Homo-oligomer: A and B are copies of this chain.
Amino acid sequence: MDEIVIENHVKLARVEQGLTQNELAVAIGVTRQTIGLIEAGKYNPSLKICLLIAQTTHKTLDQLFWIKGTEDESLNR
């Protein structure tokens, strides 16, 4: 369960909505730092935060997050 790498399009989705890291964070109810770390892929967020990011940015979970090397990786934009 440890070797995998998670990639995401959170930054892309956020910018598309014209939101700053802080605005997204406040909308969801987390800290700016948490958003920054998630965007940087620095850690492994909770499902709840992922779902709230998806809801706020009008994306699906699958569009936002995937395992690096997944075959359909190029599909989620």
Contact = CB atoms under 8 A, between A and B. Distances in A.
Interface in A1-29: 1-2, 4, 6, 28-29
A44 B10 CA distance: 20
Contact of A49 (B1, B49, B51): B1
Contact of A1 (B6, B29, B70): B29
A43 to B, nearest CB: 9
A50 to B, nearest CB: 5
Interface in A35-77: 44-52, 55, 60-62, 65-67, 70
Given A4-B51, A62-B62, 6 more contacts: A44-B47, A46-B46, A46-B47, A50-B50, A55-B67, A55-B70
